[in-house]
Each structure stands twice: as structure tokens, then as C-alpha cells.
């Protein structure tokens, strides 16, 4: 989920509550505040806790809430998981340590420490493009054996690696795509779903793609996939979540405010994004 901000930079709590309802009404299976798309890296601990609390309250147990709780410091990631548990989150998403560039054994020990510190389900987030390091399939399969590690959000864009994890993972370990454009591929290969950016703008259509694929209706899923592909690509024309928040502002769901170092879309990107949003009928859908 994105985090709506007011013009003064504070969290827009009213917009956040409305956005929770928009997502649930659109058919998502769970909510994930304070991740990358939620600008979690620029939220302080009090803001993070407040956002998670609001999302849990507004969700009202209609769907699970998974809190973004990662850090490149193992001690800080442990503390974040403990705070999420105390807030009532149903699980946490914990990113592979960035900047430090740990060894494969370092990744294993990092997630082992988090999982053993608190009795809360942990989703591992592998995103080499942001962290500077890749959690290899062999390492992920070791991590999958740790109690409380329940899933991976795989955003390596390496389908060979993802297939290795899907093929050899424990039966109760879930593999979720971390890339919207590859979500259909991952589910068709045996994966379990997606942690999505585009569902911020169009939760109903993205949910329909995944549900159709999980049901084996690849023809329907493929048709919807190609319909949404232009927006999937446009969401990364500049750094996520800049385009997604711009689109949501066009739809009248939030004010378009960011935390530095993120800045608004360039005029050229905005024109391209606006055209795609309009072609998908999202402006009219939001007005309803």
C-alpha cells in the first residue's frame, strides 16, 4: 500500500482509512502497509506504528495485515517485528539487508534471528535491484525451513531462480511474485500470488488476474494481464511509488505528496501516465 501524506508531510490518516476500504472492496486478500511502495524507508518508528495501527483498525479483521518491518540492521529488523506483533499485525514483510551486502550465510542468519525473536509469520522480501544483493535459491530454501518463515516475495525477476524455489520449497511455503508484470508467469509456474504495486490503483482487476490464474483460467488471466500491462510498466517509468501516487491523485483518492528524496513526476512522464490511466477507465471508476 501507498502511504498518503498531507501537504505538510504528515500522514493523511483520513485518506489512509478510505484507501484501506478501497483496497478491500476491490478484492485484495491482504494489506501490506509501510513497505517500499508505502515509503516505509522515510517513516520514523512512531509513524510506522501509527500507519500499521490505522490499517489494522480500518481493516477490522476483514483481511490480514502484513506490516513492512525490514532493516539492514538485524537488531532493528527484530525490533520492528516485535513492534508489529504488539500492534496486532498478522505478519511482517522483511527485506534482505541492503547496503551491507551480506554473504548467503549472512542472509540466513539475519532471517533466522528475526523468525526466532518473535512468534509472528515472516515473509522474506528478495529485491536485488534495491538492496544490491540477491538471496539465492539454495539460501532461500534453507530459510524456508525456519519456523515462522512462511513465504517469499520474489522480485529478482529471475524466473529460473523463482522456479527452483517453487519446485523445492516445503509444501506450506508460499512464493509470491514481487513484480506485477511477472505475476501471471509466477502463478502459472506454481507460485501463489503477488505483492502488488498496481493493485493500489486497480485492486479489482489485479485480483481478477491472480484468481483466474490460480483457478487455471489462463486465457482470462492473460487477457486481463495484457490489458493492465501498460500501467504495470508505467508504474516504473520513474521510481516506485512516484507514478502510482500520481495516478491515485488523478483518480481523486489521495493528494499527490511524497517524502524526499522522492519528488513528483516529470511533465513528460505525467502526460504518458495520464493517458494510460484514462484509457483504462480508472478516472471514471474512482468517481463512482
SS3 assignment, position 31: strand
- Decide: helix, strand or coil at residue 93: strand
Active site annotation includes 108: no
Whole-angstrom distance, CA of residue 98 vs CA of residue 207: 30
User: Grid coordinates 493523511 are at which residue?
Assistant: 12
Cell of 35: 513497505
Contact 110, 102 (CB under 8 A): yes
3-state secondary structure of 45: helix
Q: DSSP secondary-structure letter at 198?
A: G
85, 107, 108, 153: which one is catalytic?
153
In this structure, how many other beta carbons lie within 10 angstroms of the beta carbon of residue 217? 13
Residues 113 and 23: their CA atoms lie apart, in Å, by 32
Instruction: State yes or no: is 153 an active-site residue.
Output: yes
How open is the CA angle 260-9-11, to the nearest 5 degrees? 120
Strand partners, 124: 94, 152
CA distances from 241 to 55, 111, 140 (A): 19, 26, 27
Exactly one of 85, 108, 112, 125 is catalytic; name it.
Answer: 125
Cell numbers placing 279: 484509457
Find out whether the peptide bond into 261 is cis, omega within 30 degrees of 0. Answer: yes
Which residue is associated with the grid cell 498478522?
90
CA distance 168 to 141: 7
Whole-angstrom CA distances from 256 to 86, 264, 265 are 31, 8, 10
Residues tagged active-site: 125, 153
Amino acid at each position: 500500500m501507498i502511504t498518503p501524506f498531507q501537504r505538510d508531510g504528515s500522514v493523511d490518516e483520513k485518506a489512509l482509512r478510505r484507501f484501506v476500504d478501497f483496497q478491500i472492496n476491490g478484492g485484495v486478500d491482504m494489506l501490506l502497509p509501510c513497505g517500499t511502495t508505502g515509503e516505509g524507508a522515510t517513516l520514523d518508528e512512531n509513524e510506522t506504528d501509527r500507519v500499521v495501527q490505522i490499517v489494522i483498525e480500518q481493516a477490522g479483521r476483514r483481511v490480514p495485515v502484513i506490516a513492512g518491518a525490514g532493516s539492514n540492521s538485524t537488531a532493528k529488523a527484530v525490533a520492528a517485528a516485535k513492534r508489529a506483533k504488539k500492534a496486532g499485525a498478522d505478519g511482517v514483510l522483511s527485506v534482505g539487508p541492503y547496503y551491507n551486502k551480506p554473504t548467503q550465510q549472512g542472509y540466513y542468519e539475519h532471517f533466522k534471528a528475526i523468525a526466532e525473536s518473535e512468534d509472528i509469520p515472516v515473509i522474506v522480501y528478495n529485491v536485488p535491484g534495491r538492496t544490491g544483493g540477491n538471496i539465492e535459491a539454495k539460501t532461500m530454501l534453507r530459510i524456508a525451513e525456519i519456523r515462522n518463515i512462511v513465504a517469499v516475495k520474489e522480485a529478482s525477476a529471475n524466473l529460473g531462480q523463482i522456479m527452483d524455489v517453487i519446485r523445492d520449497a516445503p509444501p506450506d511455503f508460499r512464493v509470491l511474485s514481487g513484480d506485477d508484470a511477472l505475476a501471471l508467469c509466477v502463478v502459472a509456474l506454481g507460485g501463489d500470488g503477488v505483492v502488488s504495486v498496481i493493485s493500489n490503483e486497480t485492486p479489482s482487476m489485479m485480483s481478477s488476474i491472480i484468481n483466474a490464474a490460480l483457478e487455471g483460467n489462463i486465457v482470462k488471466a492473460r487477457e486481463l494481464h495484457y490489458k493492465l500491462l501498460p500501467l504495470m510498466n508505467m508504474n516504473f517509468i520513474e521510481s516506485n511509488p512516484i507514478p502510482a501516487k500520481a495516478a491515485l491523485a488523478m483518480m481523486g483518492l489521495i493528494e499527490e505528496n511524497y517524502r524526499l528524496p522522492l519528488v513528483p513526476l516529470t511533465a513528460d512522464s505525467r502526460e504518458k501516465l495520464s493517458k494510460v490511466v484514462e484509457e483504462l477507465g480508472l478516472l471514471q471508476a474512482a468517481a463512482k
